[in-house]
Amino acid sequence: MLMKIAIKRLTASDLTFFEWHFVNRKAGNQKAINLNADVFIGEFYPALPETVRQRGGRIPIDLYIHGPGLSAEHNLQRKIIKSGESYKNWRLNGEFVANPQGEPGRFNALEPQDIVVLRFEGDPFVPTTLKSVFLARSLDEDAALQTLLDDWLGNRRMASIALSELSMLVTKSASPLEHPIHELLLDESLEEAAQGGYEGIRRLFRRRSGNRLSKDDLLKARADADNTGIRGEEYVFSFLAAKRDRGELKEVEWTSRINAVAPFDFRIIHHDGTEIAVEVKTTTGDFNRRIHISYAELSELALRGKDYHLYRVYGIEDSQAKLRIAAEGHILAEDIIRSLNTLPPGVVPDSFSIQPDVLDFGQVIKLQSAEDHED
């Protein structure tokens, strides 16, 4: 499912989407949230005007509202409509959104200039789901993230944002795990949980929406993580094979295809006989997502020293990805293994989660798929 994320600064007119604000703020008769056409149509859905013409001027949308504050998920059916014959104005519309039963003042805390994060999902041409997180600067739980996103927007009213960039801003804001903004970052949490990462599991367990992760969901996430790992290895093989074909390397062996339990993925041999083991760690997200490394890999890294390199493949999209290489990860590996001597006899951790910034990674290398690779 295709995903597109935008940050929008709310106006008084936008707030009339909520019944309490329509009645009490006297900010016009709009009863809808504007979706700025330069982003919503220009960047996200260029073909939507024609689709809307064929569907009578409106697109049904499954709307999930989170926030403000730590308020949980509120699911409604609404629609996206065009306003005006020019199709230049687009709005999230439908019936008033009232404060939910049991939360009589939920949306009252919102004010003009507050922020909403919008995550559209669907096919490449039409959104079918909209997950939104409303932030109120007056609430302590929202204040830090609201300020960061407001600064990020600058003088723009609405702007698209990459999931990786949003994730970094959320991390910087130190928003609590219970904050609903993490609902929009489930891809990252699922990837980490699928690889056994503690933080990913913890975030999913403490979701404010109340939704639970089924066994099928976790199995799918694990399959997706496996496929991502394979894609990363394919990119690296293309990169290394190109270097071999240019005479920069003598030999490249895709070890994990020969021996699935090997503690590294590739073996490369230089013309002077030097042999380097390469372990590939891949994510579809940004560079800063945690790296998950097994005890076997860590031990091999400590044993081989400078002859074991970590390749971090990240930001995979379409036929491109990015790569950074850590050639001296053995120093950290040795420190970790020494610290394990303090564990009780018979206790050995199976794996570790490592923040990439504790390793000395080199410069960014752009990767392309095998059919159009350029070094």
Rounded to whole angstroms, the Cα distance separating 83 from 146 reads 29
158 lies in the same domain as 267: no
Q: What is the pLDDT of residue 308?
A: 96
Residues 161, 235 within the same domain: no
Domain contains 193: no
The helix or strand, by DSSP H or E, that contains position 366, with its residue range, turns out to be strand 365-368
pLDDT score for 205: 61
Question: For the whole model, what pTM was predicted?
Answer: 0.66
Residues 168 and 257 in one domain: no
Residue 6's pLDDT is 96
Question: Domain boundary at 174, 195, 210, which?
Answer: 174
**Considering 128, 149, 174, which residue would you say is the last residue of a domain?**
174
What is the reported pLDDT for 44? 93
- Position 309 scores a pLDDT of 97
**Domain encompassing residue 135:** 2-174
- Residue at which a domain ends, from 159, 174, 189: 174
Q: What is the number of structural domains in the chain?
A: 2
Ranges of residues in the chain with a pLDDT under 70 are: 1, 83-88, 187-191, 193-215, 217-218, 221, 318, 370-375
